[in-house]
Chains A and B, each alone.
Chain A
């Protein structure tokens, strides 16, 4: 696997974890737990955005591996 593919895999994992956190935040009735989940989901989302950018850069550098 090239680096670009590895980063993409990690990005996919992170996205799934982020989505899970959001669904926990929605599902729980406890305010404190909701807040913790929501914050975690937000932080994770910002990392997702960063990684997304990096994937864009990598794709520019090695156009062969564009897409999945």
Chain B
């Protein structure tokens, strides 16, 4: 066997072995939570390189240490899973750098982190003023995570006291012109419904690249022809507008009429429609 064939065969073997071991070790190694896991990944790669490199040595000189290096992290992570103290020892634990807005200099020293580095870490989290930080800690993989003071936190609907409808993942019901029956069934519709909706928008199934249905049953489609303009479904905002218009009409009727009883009826009706708008409005404007 010429030498080059030998090299190719050994390379293929090491490649396959690396693939198998990488699959065995799993996703956890990919995230490389700790520096140790990072090194283990490199070490396995290095051993894989030995196989085609040292042609005289038997195959198991590379494969065996690779297997051990794969088995050990699996065993260690299993141990870490079972016991908290083992976990602290194996994976290390996070160290608090800022608490209650005060920098803990001793902990900085323990992590051998300079003030500049701390500021750099904070800036990478979009925090430019230490005064804005409530709490910051260094995770065991070395990233610094920051909790900013509550007045600096982004405005969310909850903080605004707004009621927002729950988000439901949309289903892709047409992909590449093919109807996805399973997705349709998941969201509770069928082919007949989809055909009607497509007809409403004047599109044939074959021309649709992608169609998604959201939780309210609105169909959003993208066609192959990019110059075509497909109107977005307007029925939700339209209903909202109609309700608002009706409410305004009722108020003006209430003003216009001289009949006391009718005035009271209009006013009360306007109020009730307003309540409906307040409640259902967030669901209609998205």
Contacts and interface: CB of A to CB of B under 8 A. Distances in A.
B276 A54 contact: no
A50 B270 CA distance: 11
Contacts of A43: 272-273, 275-276
Contact of B242 (A3, A16, A54): A16
Interface string A1-37: 0010011011001101100110010011110110011
Contacts of B236: 24
A7 B269 CA distance: 13
Contacts, number: 83
Contact of A54 (B217, B265, B272): B265
B59 to A, nearest CB: 57
Q: Which bracket fits the contact residues of B? A: 20 to 34
Contact of A14 (B187, B215, B246, B256): B246
Chain B interface mostly: helix
A9 B188 CA distance: 35
A35 to B, nearest CB: 10
A24 B246 CA distance: 19
B245 interface: yes
Contacts of A17: 239, 242-243, 246
A13 B246 contact: yes
A32 B168 CA distance: 11
A29 B256 CA distance: 42
A37 B206 CA distance: 34
Given A6-B253, A29-B187, A37 B242 contact: no
Nearest to B269: A47
B166 interface: yes
A7 B165 CA distance: 33
Interface residues of A, number: 30
Given A24-B216, A27-B217, A44 B273 contact: yes
A38 B250 CA distance: 22
Chain A interface mostly: helix
B255 to A, nearest CB: 12
A54 B215 contact: no
A24 B187 CA distance: 14
Contact of B239 (A3, A21, A30): A21
A3 B188 contact: no
B235 interface: yes
Nearest to B268: A50
B109 interface: no
B279 interface: yes
A46 B243 CA distance: 14
Contacts of B238: 20
Contact of A36 (B168, B265, B280): B280
A39 B279 contact: yes
A28 B166 contact: no
A33 B265 contact: no
Given A30-B166, A47-B273, 8 more contacts: A3-B257, A10-B250, A17-B243, A24-B217, A24-B236, A28-B215, A28-B216, A29-B188
9 contacts: A13-B242, A14-B242, A17-B246, A20-B238, A24-B217, A28-B216, A28-B217, A40-B279, A47-B273
In the A-B complex, the 5 residue pairs with the smallest Cβ-Cβ separation, listed nearest first, are A27-B217, A40-B280, A10-B249, A20-B239, A17-B242
